[in-house]
Amino acid sequence: MQTMNFLVKSAALLAFGTMACAAQAEAILAVGYLKQAVVAPAVLSNLDPVPETLGVDGARLGQADNQSSGRFLGHSYVLDVSEVDPGGDLLAAARTLLATSPYLILDASADDILRVADLPEAQDALIFNASAQETRLRDAECRRNLFHTLPSAAMRADALMQVLMAKRFSRLALVAGEHPADRAFADALRRSAAKFGLKITGEREWRFDADMRRNASQEVPLFTQDLPEHDVLLIADETNDFGRYIAYNTWLPRPVAGSEGMVPVAWSRVVEQWGAAQLQSRFVKLAGRDMKNRDYAAWAAMRVLGEALTRTGSTDPAQLRAYILSPEFELAGFKGRPMSFRHWNGQLRQPIPLVTDRAVVMQAPVEGFLHQRSELDTLGIDLPESRCTAFKE
């Protein structure tokens, strides 16, 4: 009789466990990762090849981190990666992913991101921009369904200006490239300098097509000779074309910053505090290389969704959107401060490290730059100056 009772209880426990597992397995959050491959512009040096899995590896690490905590709650995460060849049909690929999930991480140009966000199929989706830093996506051209885990050019420029002010560098000169990304960053630097009361004393546009690997020590001094007196030379070279040849070759012996020298970034291997070394170690184990800006942005996008599911228990995009934009949402981003979203434009607030190749110089926001809401809102477009109306309910 005791044996029979034991068998009955065991069967009941097994059935209960099976039903519990089945109930838990219902909380599945699928995320699409869509990457538009591009033909990289020609640059003077090939010392910094772009990893083929740039961004994707960050999303995979975010998925693994979500799974690690989610398994205790019965939450599962699926990542569906799709890459479109240069010139391929990005919108068709987006429609395919959106047909299976309302959650999409985009690695594409600013214009392509807007095209995807404007699809009828995407209107109730949550789309995360992990690649385009153009400030206009967070301003007049914002979209209600579009969130940004990559810092904007304005945030990076403001971080740099805060550090320059803290170091009492008030006179600046600027050298900018011709690529659209270079010009966008140069515009952000000009805006930020004016915002913080710094003066750009002179500018030059880089138009060399000579081989600077041989001629930098002769050409760069002549190129910079006519720049007025300055404390720091700003470089806007977002394609990593010419900036490496500027330092130590200028007419005036001055430090460089911007795209070269002291650089404002979303992430760098030299960030080691606040558990960052552990995040980097896990990424290296997964990808076999250092984490880059786009990797961090894609990781953050996955973690945002994981945190939202953990706190709400819902996979409904409307509920997750409301929670993500609420004051209760926080993301631990391994940069010393909880990160949250700006409710007026969908930008993820985050500290910006200012780094060289080998060390962190400072991190912004810099102490002393105060804000009534959050010091993180001293970086980038603040609510009073925002032209984004899509997030107004």
Residue 74 pLDDT: 93
DSSP 386: -
**Strand, helix or coil at 307?**
helix
- Please tell me the distance from the alpha carbon of residue 93 to that of residue 329, in angstroms, as a whole number: 31
Please give the pLDDT value at position 369. Answer: 92
For range 278-286, the mean pLDDT: 97
Q: Per-residue pLDDT for 220 more than 60? A: yes
Q: 48-52 contacts: CB < 8 A, separation 24 or more?
A: 48/240, 51/287, 51/289, 51/292
pLDDT score for 213: 57
Burial class (CB in 10 A: 0-12, 13-18, 19+), 377: middle
**Mean of the pLDDT values across residues 168-178?**
96
d(CA 184, CA 303) in angstroms, rounded, equals 29
Question: Residue 210's pLDDT is what?
Answer: 57
Mean pLDDT for the stretch of residues 49-75: 94
Higher-confidence residue: 158 or 46? 158
| Residue length of the chain | 393
Whether the per-residue pLDDT at 163 is higher than 90: the answer is yes
pLDDT at position 50, please? Answer: 84
Average pLDDT over residues 342-354: 98
| Residue 177 pLDDT exceeds 80 | yes
Average pLDDT, the chain: 91
Distance CA 261, CA 249 (A): 13
- Which residues are paired to 30 by β-bridges? 78
24 or 188, which is more confident: 188
Per-residue pLDDT for 84 more than 50? yes
Contacts of 250 (CB under 8 A, 6+ apart): 220, 221, 224, 233, 256
Rounded to 5°, the CA angle 96-80-345 comes to 80
pLDDT for residue 306: 97
352-355 and 75-84 beta bridge pairing: unpaired
List, in sequence order, the alpha helices (H) in the chain.
2-25, 56-70, 90-98, 110-117, 153-166, 180-195, 212-224, 276-287, 293-312, 317-324
109, with CB counted inside 10 A (0-12, 13-18, 19+), is middle
| Residue 119, pLDDT above cutoff 70 | yes
Token pair listed for 259 = 């795209």
219 vs 381, more confident: 381
Structure tokens at 231: 């404390």
Tell me the C-alpha to C-alpha distance, in Å, between residue 81 and each of 31, 136, 221, 237, 315.
9, 27, 47, 30, 19
pTM given for the model: 0.91
In this prediction, residue 28 carries a pLDDT of: 95
CB 227 within 8 A of CB 249: no
Residue 3's pLDDT band, with cuts at 50, 70 and 90, is: very low
